[in-house]
Amino acid sequence: MELFKSMNTNAGGNSSNTNKPVEKVKVLILGSGPAGYTAAIYAARANLNPVVYEGIQPGGQLTTTTEIENFPGYPNGITGNEMMEDLKKQAQRFGTDVRFGIASSTDLSSRPFKVTIDEEKVIETEILIIATGATAKYLGLESEEKFKGQGVSACATCDGFFYRGKDVAVVGGGDTAAEEATYLAGLCNKVYLIVRKPYLRASKAMQERVMNTPNLEVLFEHVTKEIVGDMTGVNGVILTSTKTGEDVKRDISGFFVAIGHQPNSDIFKPWIETDEVGYIKTIPGTSKTNIPGVFACGDVQDPHYRQAITAAGSGCMAAIDGERYYAENK
């Protein structure tokens, strides 16, 4: 699911915005995950009156997580929805204006920056903070959707702890899949790595780690046909051999998808530098993009960690970078 729509944008800006109502703000934050709300908390406390547009998925990807146990300050754990509601309330307490709406196009050619919302109105902002996140890629199976949060996950670091001592499967053949599988092997009884091709695409070092992990079995030339389970969650996976066409079943409690993420950055690409995947490039050690006054935080600029706590930290950085830029360029 894309949090922010990809609409037609061109390097010449949005001529279609001419007749749309315009609202001027100091700070506009796109995205309502840990990065967006943390940026809002800091910006609001600096009297910058931030406006947050939540996007299609208010609260971001954390709202698809049932239990969060690795975010500091919650000794008994907390659900993703509850945590995001707490962050939202904290941001609103300091005066953040939180709105439902989708950024559909942008014109970042000059300040104030112009962002079109729902193709209906234009926000002109002195500071733009991009916190639109990255969407995990899934296989597209009905059973996968059915068991999301009940055994199907796209983050081993987030959810692996719940499967300690159990059997799990990871699908993917690149570095991410290899890392997730070896991480899970340290927690779980048995890990199956499901690879469509007859080889791993992962780096040589990661391949060696996989092959040298005793409780990790690589199932080459297999694809996932169906994830099976009951009301309590996942209890198995049916695989099809691409070599013989035969189906095989493995009993598992967890199914981890590790085929990559798609940064929600398309509407910014005419203006903002990204890597080949689409992650926004920031100056190392900052949230600054190639355009002064535009800052990026959270998973949209982080291909490595993708954790709530690191996203929140980068949201803080974006707000502080933005506040300093605003003070110097009023």
Catalytic positions = 155, 158-159
The answer for residues whose C-beta is within 8 angstroms of residue 326's C-beta and 6 or more apart is: 26, 27, 48, 126, 127
Cβ pair 311, 37 in contact under 8 A: no
Q: Which amino acid would we find at residue 223?
A: V
CA distance 19 to 1: 30
- Residue 304: CB partners within 8 Å, gap ≥ 6? none
Strand ranges across the sheet with 190-195: 152-153, 254-257, 167-171, 190-195, 216-220
Cα–Cα distance, 30 to 121 (Å, whole number): 15
Q: In whole angstroms, what is the distance from residue 134 CA to residue 96 CA?
A: 23
